[in-house]
Structure 1
């Protein structure tokens, strides 16, 4: 799903993960981290961490010190993938962007509503686990609960997860276990380099999550 047309960071068929990771650092100035990856074991793809019960196969940091290992240097990024060429691409939040994470059904509803209202949006990812993540300015995660409360929703009553400092998102075209690749619902472009504040998106996202929750409970 892609509604933006030409991408600043085009995804080429057969493109190496390292090239995509480098362009995230060069073109968007995002910090990048090489994460775990999928590898075949006895004909079955397993997470490189070797944990049989890994909750995020092929899509999580490799060590506890990952926060300090993330980098915006293209040279260091290439060095990371030279060691692990199949590594997943992770983008730490709380630095150049935060992310508002909602169910795909709510995300699509909110996206359509915001487009009708000409809301300026940043990049949005869509995962094969049926989640959508809306990129916003840093600091958005910290104030998101209060923004939700001000709209009349207890933050734990709707499925809106704010990802900020100390967290990360999985970047396209990383594959997450058997679910498939993460994709761009709205790709990074020159037009959306300047990210919206969380306050500009929370109302539509909270409404969509609340409506989505009522439909599921019904």
Structure 2
């Protein structure tokens, strides 16, 4: 199975009806579907000012971080993390999506969505970002941002 096909299958497995989800993805003119968080993954949304630098740190220390959603401009970055993380996460300015929430998810093999895209697309393996590593990367990114502000 190709990377995009296995990623679609993995993401669709979170839906109540995976086959219906796949069909909707193919028919959607914007290439997006709504999927429930909290089943296969939760999402931590970091503000863009912190999200992109955190992703840079993760990419330096990991061969491949878990999937990351992102928008355009000042949109937050959404890191897919293990289910249950959202209920335990404490962090000012960090929005969470866990059990009982639904998120807009773009097709991993197309870039037709106008408001959301994959910064790191899923590969279908089920790899998620480790919340401990994410927190450490956030601290490093925040420290670098604070250092830049001190230089001004």
Superposition TM-score, scaled by structure 1 size: 0.52
| Structure 2: distance between partners of 1:93 and 1:29 | 12
Name the residue aligned to 1:143. Answer: 88
| Structure 1: distance between partners of 2:56 and 2:18 | 36
| Structure 1: distance between partners of 2:118 and 2:22 | 23
Give the one of 8, 18, 30 matched to 2:13: 30
| 8 A contact 2:24–2:33 mirrored in 1 | no
Runs of 4+ aligned structure 1 residues displaced above 4 Å come to: 78-82, 84-88, 209-215
| 8 A contact 1:102–1:205 mirrored in 2 | no
Equivalence map 1:51-130=2 (5 Å): 71-74=16-19, 76-77=20-21, 85-86=28-29, 88-118=32-62, 121-128=65-72, 130=75
- Following TM superposition, by how much is the alpha carbon of 1:139 offset from its aligned partner in structure 2, in angstroms? 0.8
Cα RMSD (Å): 3.4
| 8 A contact 2:43–2:78 mirrored in 1 | yes
Note the alpha carbon deviations across 1:132-175, whole angstroms, 9 max, x for none: 10001101111111xxxxxxxxx33xx21121111122112574
Name the residue aligned to 2:120. Answer: 186
Residue 73 and residue 116 in structure 1: after superposition, are their counterparts in 2 closer, same or farther (change >3 A)? Answer: closer
| Structure 1: distance between partners of 2:133 and 2:17 | 27
Larger radius of gyration: 1
| Structure 1: distance between partners of 2:119 and 2:139 | 19
Would you say 1:201 and 2:134 are equivalent positions? yes
| Structure 2: distance between partners of 1:209 and 1:174 | 32
- Following TM superposition, by how much is the alpha carbon of 1:78 offset from its aligned partner in structure 2, in angstroms? 5.7
Structure 2's unaligned 5+ residue stretches are none
Would you say 1:167 and 2:101 are equivalent positions? yes
Superposition TM-score, scaled by structure 2 size: 0.71
| 8 A contact 1:136–1:198 mirrored in 2 | yes
